[in-house]
Chains A and B, each alone.
Chain A
Amino acid sequence: DVKVTQSSRYLVKRTGEKVFLECVQDMDHENMFWYRQDPGLGLRLIYFSYDVKMKEKGDIPEGYSVSREKKERFSLILESASTNQTSMYLCASSLWTDRVYGYTFGSGTRLTVV
């Protein structure tokens, strides 16, 4: 079974902390994505990466950065966490960039910034 694993299911951090959300996939997929999901707003793309060390901004990159040093791992970094970054964060990977079918999502990390 293909797997996308997010390191934490629940995380509570303080305002101003540096936060790392880790995502690992075992499918040798080129493409990896970070989304946040908020009530009434649905899934919004933060960053995606189509190759090692490559990254592109999604719709809402402000306040976030990413790192892809190895093909299987895509990290989302909150340099200085703020309360408006409290959200559910979902990682996904895929063979393609334009088809949701064929994506595999992680289980999500619910981040609370206090």
Chain B
Amino acid sequence: KNEVEQSPQNLTAQEGEFITINCSYSVGISALHWLQQHPGGGIVSLFMLSSGKKKHGRLIATINIQEKHSSLHITASHPRDSAVYICAVSGREGNQFYFGTGTSLTVIP
């Protein structure tokens, strides 16, 4: 069972390109999260969303609750954006949450 689906699984982009990573989920959620995992393994939280849109520097995250879909956009991509991006959702029931399988992004100079 895959409560959270991400696409694409792998993405290669040229520096400067606009990048979109998609996330669809099938469960009721209290919030959706975008995480970033660098090659060393450490994970940091980028965004937590329950509606609308959030922006942080060159990163933009949107969510459509009715369609159960979220997107992470990176504008003017840079090689340092190369990482695995993981979508995760917090379920409505207590400590349930679910992770997508991640999107591996490589930005080429």
Please give the residue numbers on chain A whose beta carbons come within 8 Å of chain B beta carbons, in ascending order.
9, 39-44, 48, 88, 90, 92, 97-103, 105-108, 110
Contacts of A39 in B (CB 8 A): 101
Q: In the complex the two chains form, is A100's CB within 8 Å of B45's CB?
A: yes
Partner of B95, one of A40, A97, A105: A97
Contacts of B33 in A (CB 8 A): 100-101
Q: How far is the CA of A43 from the CA of B87 in the complex (A)?
A: 10
Q: Nearest A residue to B89 by beta-carbon distance? A: A100
Main secondary structure of the interface of B (DSSP, over half): strand
Q: How far is the CA of A40 from the CA of B31 in the complex (A)?
A: 23
* Nearest-Cβ distance from residue A21 to partner chain B, whole angstroms: 13
Q: Pull 6 A–B residue pairs with CB atoms less than 8 Å apart, ordered by A.
A: A42-B99, A42-B101, A98-B91, A98-B96, A108-B42, A110-B41
Q: In the complex the two chains form, is A98's CB within 8 Å of B94's CB?
A: yes
